[in-house]
Amino acid sequence: MAERSQPPAVGLGPRCAERLSLLGVTHIFPATLPDPFPSSSSLTSNYVSSVYPYNPVFKKTLNTDTKWQEVDDNFKLCLESNKKWAGETAKADAAFFPTSSKGQSPPILWLGCSDSRVPETTLLGMKPGDVFTHRNIANIMHATDLSSLSVIYFAVAHLGVKHIVLCGHTSCGGVAGALGNDKLGLLDVWLQPLRELREKHADELAKLEGAEKTTYLSELNVKAGVEVLRRNPTVIDAMKERDLKVHGVIYDLASGTLREIACEEHETTGSNRVAAFERK
Ligand SMILES: [Zn+2]
């Protein structure tokens, strides 16, 4: 995959740019400034090929002969790419879009990070309609977050998903931010559960360095998120009534693979949880 150029964040002070880079943000596109992506034919062409080499709907490589190198605007690139994808998909299966427009019955609810490198449907090799999704920064499960609660309620109570998959990932910018001590503005509030995990597991984390430390906190975050889900009343009811499964996984950016995280609980812990959270 061709490397995109990495110009520094523009229009920002060095301190702000440094903080954003902690979260993996290296590009800012103010409308009044030129697009930092060079529009040379090779770069744009490689960029498109790297993003759309594969159609997950039909498990085949797309023909990327469109003269996208002539597109020098990223939004135009999106529209052109979409038109091509829709055309290829309809050509391969004329019934796909008519069927898709009638409704959805996804078996999986995916709760993941907003990170652009972890697109659930793509990395699962699935197709539109297979995965209902909620993503937020660092895949944090706040017990009272209205957005994730609404998604979980609709997916579990109305769509009847069979599995909930909570996915963290390696090199997560949100996790790295919680392991640092910079002021991150609003994100300091959002990341609070991660900082609490950092505090609670300080001794274990102190023995680790670099990527190992970040990945370990990502794993702790997934385990904590699974516990939050197991205390969600909608999830509790579905686990009891129809054996809904809740899974925790870590996505490895370097290999593209998922690794299941052991989230089992001691029998006594489980029964205590059920007793405390059950409603009749
Ligand atoms: Zn992340």
Residue 270's pLDDT band (boundaries 50, 70, 90)?
A: confident
By C-alpha distance, which of 115, 156, 134, 139 is closest to 243?
Answer: 156
Q: How far is the CA of 87 from the centre of ligand 1 (A)?
A: 32
Provide the residue type at 35 as one letter: D
Q: Which residue among 169, 198, 230, 263 is the active-site one?
A: 169
137 in Cβ contact with 113 (< 8 Å) = yes
By C-alpha distance, which of 214, 226, 262, 265 is closest to 141?
Answer: 226
Q: Which residue among 19, 172, 198, 230 is the active-site one?
A: 172
Active site annotation includes 142: no
Residue ranges for the binding site for Zn(2+)? Answer: 113, 115, 169, 172
Q: Which residue among 19, 113, 198, 230 is the active-site one?
A: 113
- The pLDDT tens digits of the residues spanning 146-178 come to 999 999 999 999 999 999 999 999 999 999 999
Distances (CA, A) of 221 to 9, 18, 155, 217, 235: 29, 24, 22, 6, 19
pLDDT at residue 21, as a whole number: 57
Q: How far is the CA of 121 from the centre of ligand 1 (A)?
A: 16
**Backbone phi, then psi, for 61, in 5-degree steps?**
-80, 135
104 in Cβ contact with 159 (< 8 Å) = yes
Q: How far is the CA of 31 from the centre of ligand 1 (A)?
A: 26
Active site annotation includes 172: yes
Active site annotation includes 169: yes
Structure tokens at 22: 């902690």
Q: Which residue among 115, 134, 167, 230 is the active-site one?
A: 115
Q: What CA–CA distance (Å, rounded) separates 110 from 158? A: 15
pLDDT at residue 194, as a whole number: 98
Q: How far is the CA of 152 from the centre of ligand 1 (A)?
A: 20
Q: How far is the CA of 8 from the centre of ligand 1 (A)?
A: 20
Q: Which residue among 27, 72, 93, 117 is the active-site one?
A: 117
CATH number belonging to the domain at 104-280, selected among 3.30.70.20, 3.30.70.3270, 3.90.1300.10, 3.40.1050.10: 3.40.1050.10
Please, which residues have CB within 8 angstroms of residue 159's CB and are 6 or more apart in sequence?
Answer: 104, 105, 106, 109, 132
Q: What CA–CA distance (Å, rounded) separates 221 from 141? A: 9
123-131 LR contacts (CB < 8 Å, sep 24+) = 123/251, 123/256, 123/258, 125/56, 125/59, 126/56, 127/56, 127/57, 128/57, 128/100, 129/100, 129/104, 129/105, 130/106, 131/106
Please, which residues have CB within 8 angstroms of residue 6's CB and are 6 or more apart in sequence?
Answer: 26, 27
Provide the residue type at 198 as one letter: R
By C-alpha distance, which of 23, 68, 44, 172 is closest to 36?
Answer: 44
Active site annotation includes 163: no
> What's 134-187 look like in SS3?
EEEHHHCCCCCCHHHHHHHHHHHHHCCCCEEEEEEECCCHHHHHHHCCCCCCCH
Q: How far is the CA of 252 from the centre of ligand 1 (A)?
A: 11
pLDDT at residue 32, as a whole number: 33
- The pLDDT tens digits of the residues spanning 19-76 come to 545 555 544 433 333 332 233 333 333 333 344 445 555 555 555 544 555 556 889 8
- The pLDDT tens digits of the residues spanning 82-117 come to 999 999 999 999 999 999 999 999 999 999 999 999
